[in-house]
Chain A
Amino acid sequence: MINKWKNKSEFWIAGAKLADTASRTLKTGSIHIKRGRIEEVVWKKSVDTDLPVFEAEGYLVTPGFIDIHSHLREPGYEESETVATGTAAAAAGGYTSVVCMANTDPVVDDPSVVRYLMDKNKAAGQCRLYVIGAVTKGLEGRDINEFHLLKEAGIVALSDDGKFVENAKVMRSALQYARMLELPIVSHCEDASLSGGGLMNEGFYSTKLGLSGIPAEAEEIAVARDISLSKLTGCRLHIAHVSTSGSVQLIKEAKKKGLPVTAEVTPHHLTMDDSELKDYDRNLKVNPPLRTQQDIKALKKALKNGTIDCIATDHAPHNEIAKQVEFNFAPPGMIGLQTAFSHLYTELVMPGDLELIDLVSLMTSAPAEVLGLPGGRLNSSEPADLAVIDLDEEWTFSKEVNKSKSINTPLVDRKFKGRVKGIFLAGKWKRTG
C-alpha cells in the first residue's frame, strides 16, 4: 500500500470490493473520504481525481465492525484486559466501535465510571467506545440505577450482563423507567435457580464428564419472562448471547407479535458444541454454555431469517492464572474480538451457510440498529469507519499476534482464511494485519 493517501484529510479508496449493507450489494466501487466522513460512494473501479488514491483492488472494504457486547474489564480487572488492549484487539479484528459491559469493579452504575471509561478510550484512541450502564446498583438485582444521569454521561443501553435480574418486579420497573428514556435493556437470560452450579450444557456430555449441567430451559424460562415484561412495559429488550433453539422459537414468536425485542448470538455459539469439552478445556467454559449441534443449526437459521438480529462477541478476557485451575473453578468466558470475522468467514461463509454480505451486515449495520449507534453503512456523511480485508489471505491466530491482554480462547493456533488488514477510523488508517 502506497503512502501518499495516508494522513490526508481527503482521498479516495478505489477499486475495492465494497460491502454496501444498506442495499445488500457486494460490488466493485470507490469511496471518497473527506474530513473523517464518507463524502461519496461511486460504483466505479477507478476514479478521475487529483486527490491521493488508495488503490484497493483485491481488498474487501466494509463498514467498520461494531461489537455491542464486550467485556473490557476496566476498571477493576486490568490484569485481564484494559480499554487500550481490548480496543486494540477489536481494531485488529476490523472493529471500529465497541460497546463495553457494566460488570466492572466498580460497576458502571455511576456517571463517573462512564466518564472514566470514555477518558481511557480517548487516550487509547484505537476505536470508538460506547458504554453500557448497569440496570441495578452493584449488579445486585435490587435497586435500579440513575438511568437518566447515566444517559447524560453517555451510556447507550442498560445491562446487568453476567447476571440475570432475578426479581421480576425489579426488572419490570427497570424496563418501565428505561422506556421513558428510550434506553434498551440488554438481558443476560439465565434462571439461576435452574442453572445454579452448572458448568456446561446439560446433556450426554455433562453426564459423561461428570460436570453439573445447565439445561436449555434455564435460558428459555428467563427469555420468556423478559419477553413478557417487554410486552407489559413496551420497553426495548435485547436478548444477549442466545444459545438454544428454544430461545430462538420464543424470540420468533415475540417478533411475530410485533414486540420490541431483538437478539444477538456469539461466534462461539454458532461454531462449537458441547462435545468439544471432552478434555475439560477451560477455554470452552462459557456462559451460556456451548450447546448442541441442533442448537447451532437453529441459531444459524435464525441468523438467516432475521429472528436473531446480529452477531456480538461477548469478548470475555480472563488472564492465564484465572483459567489455570480446575474446570469448576475457572471463570466462564472467551475472548473473540480479534478473531470474530475470520472465524465466521471461515466456518460459516466458506462452507456456504451464510452469504458474505449478510455476515458483514450482521457485524455492522445490524448491531448499530439494535442499539441505535452511528456507523455500519457506506452512506455519504457517515463517519469514515471502515475495515479493509484480504479475503484470500490465510493466517493463524497465535499468542504472538494476539492483541488482547488475555489469551483465553480455544482458537489459538487455528488457521483462518480472510484477514483484516486494517481499519479506517474517522478516515484515519490503522494497519493491523
Chain B
Amino acid sequence: MRYNQKNLLGLEELSSGQIELILDTADNFKEVSERAIKKVPALRGITIANLFYEPSTRTKMSFELAEKRLSADIVNFSKATSSVKKGESLRDTAENIEAMKVDIVVMRHGSSGAHRFLSEFLDASIVNAGDGQHEHPTQALLDMLTLRQRWGTLKGKKVTIIGDIMHSRVARSNIWGLTRMGAEVTVCGPPTMMPPEVENLGDGGVKIEYDLRKAVSDADAINILRIQLERQKNKLFPSLREYFTVFGVSSEVLRSARNDCIVMHPGPMNRGVEISQHVADGKQAVILPQVTNGVAVRMAVLFLIAGGKSGEAKVEKK
C-alpha cells in the first residue's frame, strides 16, 4: 500500500488506513534506531528543510534524527517570529528555500493554518511539525504508536486528554487520530480552557468531563498536556497551586484510575503543575518511550511522503 499524500498537514485529513500504514511503517523503522550504525539509505539524495518558526527542542531534534537516520540531506532554518512585519514573509522564505530544490519542508509555525497557506505556493511536500493551535500530527502519531505497541489495537480503547484543550494542537491531532482509529476520547480541563463545541470534534465526537477523578476512572490511558504558564496571565486559571490541586495528576489521582492505565505526556513537563514528580517517573508512565517512538514515526512519515512503500521500510541489517 502506498500513502498517496503529498503533504502531512493534519490527521483530520487522513483515513484510518493511512494512519495504520504510518504506524506499521514506524514499527518497522523502530529497529533502525536500535542498531549500532543507525542509518539506512532510504532517503539518500532527498533534501529536507526544517523550518522552525517557534522554539522547539524535542520535535526539532526528533525530526533531524529521523532525517539523518534515513540519509536525507538537511538544512535548518530557525526563526522566532511574533510578527509578520519583521523580516521576510513566510511565503518569500519558503519560495526561496524551494528555489534551492528542496524536496520536503518540515515546518513548525505559530499560526494555525500556516501549512495550508504554504501549500498554495510550494511544490515541495510539506510536513506539519505543529501549527498554532491547530494540529501536531506527528505527536499524535507517536502517541498512538506508543499505545498500539501496548495494546495491539486502538479500537474500543478509552483515552483521556487532560489540560489546556483549547490551545492544544496535540489535543486536536489526538482527537482526530484516536477517534478515527476507533478509540473513545474524553477531554478534561478547566472550563476556561475548553474550546466551544469540542464535543463534536473528531469522528463521533468526544466526551467532556470536568471532574479529573471521574475522567481517569475508566481510562485505558491518559495524556497529560503541558500547561503553558503564560495562560495564567490571561486569567484562564487562578494560580499554579490551584491548577495542580484541581487538574494536576498526582499519585492520589492515579489511584482513581485502573492499575494498568498508561500515563503519557508530550513534554516538556512542568513537574508539580500538571503532573507530579512521582507520576512522571512512575511505572505507568511511558513518557520516554514516546520520545523514542517519535523518531520512528517521523522516519515513517518522511519515508512515505517521499514515495516509499511500507514493505520497503524493513531494511535488512548489513
Query: Shortest Cβ distance from A306 into chain B, in angstroms?
Result: 32
Q: What are the residues of chain A within 8 A of B135 when measuring CB–CB?
A: 210
Interface assignment of B198: CB less than 8 Å from any CB of chain A:
yes
Interface assignment of B27: CB less than 8 Å from any CB of chain A:
no
A328 touching B196, Cβ below 8 Å: no
Which residue on B lies nearest to A322, using beta carbons?
B84
Which residue on A lies nearest to B118, using beta carbons?
A326
Interface assignment of B117: CB less than 8 Å from any CB of chain A:
yes
CA distance A213 to B112 in the complex (A): 13
Query: Shortest Cβ distance from A382 into chain B, in angstroms?
Result: 48
B112 touching A207, Cβ below 8 Å: no
Interface-facing stretch out of B41-49, B126-134, B217-225, B241-249: B126-134
Interface 0/1 of A192-209, CB less than 8 Å to B: 000000000011101111
Interface assignment of B314: CB less than 8 Å from any CB of chain A:
no
CA distance A406 to B262 in the complex (A): 54
B113 touching A211, Cβ below 8 Å: yes
**Given A324-B89, A325-B91, A326-B90, A210:B112 Cβ within 8 A:** yes
Interface of B: prevailing SS: loop
A325 touching B89, Cβ below 8 Å: yes
**Given A210-B133, A210-B169, A326:B111 Cβ within 8 A:** yes
CA distance A211 to B166 in the complex (A): 10
A326 touching B196, Cβ below 8 Å: no
Which residue on B lies nearest to A202, using beta carbons?
B196
Interface assignment of B188: CB less than 8 Å from any CB of chain A:
no
CA distance A203 to B166 in the complex (A): 12
CA distance A311 to B222 in the complex (A): 52
Interface assignment of B197: CB less than 8 Å from any CB of chain A:
yes
Interface assignment of B58: CB less than 8 Å from any CB of chain A:
no
Q: What are the residues of chain B within 8 A of A206 when measuring CB–CB?
A: 195-196
Most central of A208, A325, A327 by chain B CB within 10 Å = A208
Interface assignment of B22: CB less than 8 Å from any CB of chain A:
no
Q: What are the residues of chain A within 8 A of B90 when measuring CB–CB?
A: 325-326
Interface assignment of B226: CB less than 8 Å from any CB of chain A:
no
A280 touching B91, Cβ below 8 Å: no
Residues facing B in A328-362 (CB within 8 A) are: 328-329
Interface assignment of B65: CB less than 8 Å from any CB of chain A:
no
Interface assignment of B60: CB less than 8 Å from any CB of chain A:
no
Q: What are the residues of chain A within 8 A of B197 when measuring CB–CB?
A: 203-204, 207
Count of interface residues, chain B, beta-carbon cutoff 8 Å: 27
Query: Shortest Cβ distance from B199 into chain A, in angstroms?
Result: 9
Residues facing A in B190-236 (CB within 8 A) are: 195-198, 200-201
Contact of A329 among B111, B131, B201 (CB under 8 A): B111
B116 touching A279, Cβ below 8 Å: yes
CA distance A282 to B89 in the complex (A): 15
Contact of B196 among A203, A279, A280, A329 (CB under 8 A): A203
CA distance A248 to B84 in the complex (A): 36
**Given A324-B89, A325-B91, A326-B90, A213:B196 Cβ within 8 A:** yes
Q: What are the residues of chain B within 8 A of A213 when measuring CB–CB?
A: 195-196
CA distance A279 to B115 in the complex (A): 11
CA distance A329 to B117 in the complex (A): 12
Query: Shortest Cβ distance from A192 into chain B, in angstroms?
Result: 14
Which residue on A lies nearest to B198, using beta carbons?
A207
Residues facing A in B89-131 (CB within 8 A) are: 89-91, 109, 111-114, 116-117, 131
CA distance A326 to B112 in the complex (A): 8
CA distance A250 to B97 in the complex (A): 53
Contact of A210 among B83, B91, B134, B196 (CB under 8 A): B134
Which residue on A lies nearest to B89, using beta carbons?
A325
CA distance A325 to B88 in the complex (A): 11
A207 touching B84, Cβ below 8 Å: no
B196 touching A207, Cβ below 8 Å: yes
CA distance A328 to B83 in the complex (A): 10
Query: Shortest Cβ distance from B162 into chain A, in angstroms?
Result: 17
Q: What are the residues of chain A within 8 A of B83 when measuring CB–CB?
A: 329
B201 touching A208, Cβ below 8 Å: yes
Interface assignment of B172: CB less than 8 Å from any CB of chain A:
yes
A327 touching B196, Cβ below 8 Å: no
Q: What are the residues of chain B within 8 A of A203 when measuring CB–CB?
A: 196-197
B112 touching A209, Cβ below 8 Å: yes
Interface 0/1 of B31-50, CB less than 8 Å to A: 00000000000000000000
**Given A210-B135, A327-B111, A280:B116 Cβ within 8 A:** yes
Query: Shortest Cβ distance from A200 into chain B, in angstroms?
Result: 10
Query: Shortest Cβ distance from B208 into chain A, in angstroms?
Result: 12
Query: Shortest Cβ distance from B263 into chain A, in angstroms?
Result: 25
CA distance A112 to B89 in the complex (A): 36
Q: What are the residues of chain A within 8 A of B196 when measuring CB–CB?
A: 202-204, 206-207, 213
A211 touching B84, Cβ below 8 Å: no
Q: What are the residues of chain A within 8 A of B91 when measuring CB–CB?
A: 324-325
**Given A280-B117, A327-B117, A207:B201 Cβ within 8 A:** yes
**Given A326-B111, A326-B113, A210:B172 Cβ within 8 A:** yes
Q: What are the residues of chain A within 8 A of B134 when measuring CB–CB?
A: 209-211
Which residue on B lies nearest to A329, using beta carbons?
B84
Q: What are the residues of chain A within 8 A of B116 when measuring CB–CB?
A: 279-280
CA distance A208 to B132 in the complex (A): 12
A326 touching B114, Cβ below 8 Å: yes
Contact of B84 among A212, A280, A325 (CB under 8 A): A325
Which residue on B lies nearest to A197, using beta carbons?
B234
Interface 0/1 of A290-328, CB less than 8 Å to B: 000000000000000000000000000000000011111
CA distance A280 to B90 in the complex (A): 15
Q: What are the residues of chain A within 8 A of B109 when measuring CB–CB?
A: 326
Q: What are the residues of chain B within 8 A of A326 when measuring CB–CB?
A: 84, 90, 109, 111, 113-114, 117
Query: Shortest Cβ distance from A277 into chain B, in angstroms?
Result: 9
A211 touching B89, Cβ below 8 Å: no
Q: What are the residues of chain B within 8 A of A329 when measuring CB–CB?
A: 83-84, 111
Which residue on A lies nearest to B119, using beta carbons?
A279
Query: Shortest Cβ distance from B175 into chain A, in angstroms?
Result: 10
> Chain A: residues with CB nearer than 8 A to chain B?
202-204, 206-213, 279-280, 324-329
Nearest 6 A/B pairs, CB to CB: A280-B113, A210-B134, A210-B133, A326-B111, A207-B195, A204-B197
Q: A210-B172, A324-B89, A329-B111 are known contacts; what are 18 more A-B pairs with Cβ within 8 Å?
A: A203-B197, A204-B196, A204-B201, A206-B196, A207-B196, A210-B131, A210-B133, A210-B134, A211-B112, A213-B196, A280-B112, A280-B117, A325-B84, A325-B89, A325-B91, A327-B113, A328-B112, A329-B84
> Chain B: residues with CB nearer than 8 A to chain A?
12, 83-84, 89-91, 109, 111-114, 116-117, 131-135, 166, 169, 172, 195-198, 200-201
Enumerate 11 A-B pairs (CB-CB under 8 Å) in ascending A order: A203-B197, A204-B196, A204-B200, A209-B113, A210-B131, A324-B89, A326-B90, A327-B111, A327-B113, A328-B112, A329-B111
